[in-house]
Structure 1
Amino acid sequence: MRRFVIGDIHGGLKGLQQVLNRCNLKEEDKVIFLGDYVDGWSESEKVIDYLITLNGNQNCVFLRGNHDDLLLNYLKTNQFNKEWFQHGGESTIEAYQKVDSKTIQNHIEFLESLQDYYIDEANRLFIHAGFTNLKGVEFEYFKPLFYWDRTLWECALALNLNLNRDSVYYPNRLKLYQEIYIGHTPVTRIGITIPHNIANVWNLDTGAAFKGPLTILDIDSKEFWQSDPLHTLYPNERGRN
């Protein structure tokens, strides 16, 4: 059994299908999804349909992203804020205008079932965004930080790589887990489009919401596969602003 982790999808079903084909996914393999399945490209509702079907045939772990939480609120209340609408929500709202009520209820149930984080048997943490409690995710006092926090990634980026792990100056959050896998903050912000590792933190958001590819990584070997840049798969769309 191989174990994979996959970054932010943002409505790009074509990219998702590409990476699963390119890594030659087998039925016995495990896939951990880091969240943000929707908002950006035009197939958000089809991505959710695909994930629900995949879950019936594959060993999957689905984590909650901030965009998934925003979609859940919209589907349950039919209300949304302007910021979400302008940052990917518009395409998702348009997509769901064509979805029947039974399917919407199935999607609500899927979104409600998403996990805040996952820790495997090797003490590797998988989480959409981050956490702030120095004792770890189990002690986090404000749960939305799991899918909104950016300070964990900022901490990793600012880390002095010459600093010894035993130093009192070494960030406690980075000592708690063998590895930490996140999405949420595109690595395109630092000028790259491949998974980026600093200390024990791996960022798998390679900018699929914008002009980057979607990425899937073998957790054990660290080999990774990428889709074509998403804007080339959806040439008549703009993706997220």
Structure 2
Amino acid sequence: MMTKRTLVIGDIHSGLKALEQVLLRAEVSSTDRLIFLGDYVDGWSTAVETVDFLMDFEKTHECVFLRGNHDELCSNWLQTAEDNPTWLQHGGASSVQSYNKANKSTIENHIGFFNSLVNYQLDPDNRIYLHAGFTNIKGVEYEYFTKTFYWDRTLWELALSLNPSLPKDHQYYPKRLVHYDEIFIGHTPVTRIGKTTPQKAANVWNIDTGAAFFGPISIMDVHTKQVWQSDPVHTLYPNEKGRN
């Protein structure tokens, strides 16, 4: 009998070609449980196709889709058509171009998908998954501002700056890190620290390997820590700039 894996998938940013590639490389099957960390759109040209793929994929696989900040921004635009120049400059323009080719039914279905996204997922082994982070020292259930779950960068910054020799029972050990055995996030590309593979700091795993820029999409088995990666996404979209 095949062992059921829990696989966590980093930021995609409309890189459908890379997503399909890495799913094949990880030999993903219907026995696996997949946790997507968010940011499905805003980057490469295949935003509509990426969301279509995920919606179809969910029909045959056990999936958890977390909310990313770019998913909220794109969803807001789809529902209100409000001008957001900052979003357009940070990947939104490619999503606008993609959705301008979509019909009304597709857009309505995608709004439903974006509205169904969840802010975090806690598994039976006390691992928590969320797009960005949280700030409340008591944990996610006590977070005052839910947008923190998909906008915060201080959790990763804190983990990176922590003295590795500081014991968890020390009075200065960050209280928000002690509630979960492992924390899986995306949002802040590890390429910012010169890496292109998932990185661990304290008990925080960052799976965003820079798919929106010059990095690949990554999948990690949360139990074994085995990693699979696509080719650098920009090589699969040679005539595009992405968010670069």
TM-score (norm 1): 0.99
Distance 1:195 1:44 in 2: 24
Give how far 1:165 is off. Answer: 1.1
Distance 1:177 1:48 in 2: 30
Distance 2:136 2:83 in 1: 30
Partner residue of 1:137?
Answer: 140
Over the residues paired in the alignment, what is the CA RMSD in angstroms? 0.6
Partner residue of 2:19?
Answer: 16
After superposing on structure 2, the runs of 4+ consecutive aligned residues of structure 1 that deviate more than 6 Å are none
Unaligned runs of 5+ in 1: none
Cα deviation, 1:116-152, whole Å, max 9, x if unaligned, reads: 0000001100000000011111111101000000000
CA contact (8 A) 1:73 1:80 kept: no
Aligned 1:167-186 pairs, distance under 5 A = 167-186=170-189
Partner residue of 1:61?
Answer: 64
Give how far 1:26 is off. Answer: 1.0
- SS of the equivalent of 1:14 reads helix
Partner residue of 1:99?
Answer: 102
- Asked if residue 76 in structure 1 is aligned to residue 84 in structure 2, the reply is no
- Asked if residue 128 in structure 1 is aligned to residue 145 in structure 2, the reply is no
CA contact (8 A) 1:193 1:212 kept: yes
Distance 1:28 1:103 in 2: 29
Distance 2:202 2:210 in 1: 21
**Number of residue pairs matched by the alignment:** 241
- Of 114, 119, 127, 1:116 maps to 119
TM-score (norm 2): 0.98
- Asked if residue 238 in structure 1 is aligned to residue 238 in structure 2, the reply is no
Cα deviation, 1:41-100, whole Å, max 9, x if unaligned, reads: 000111100000011110000000000000110010011311100000000000001000
Sequence identity of aligned pairs in percent? 59
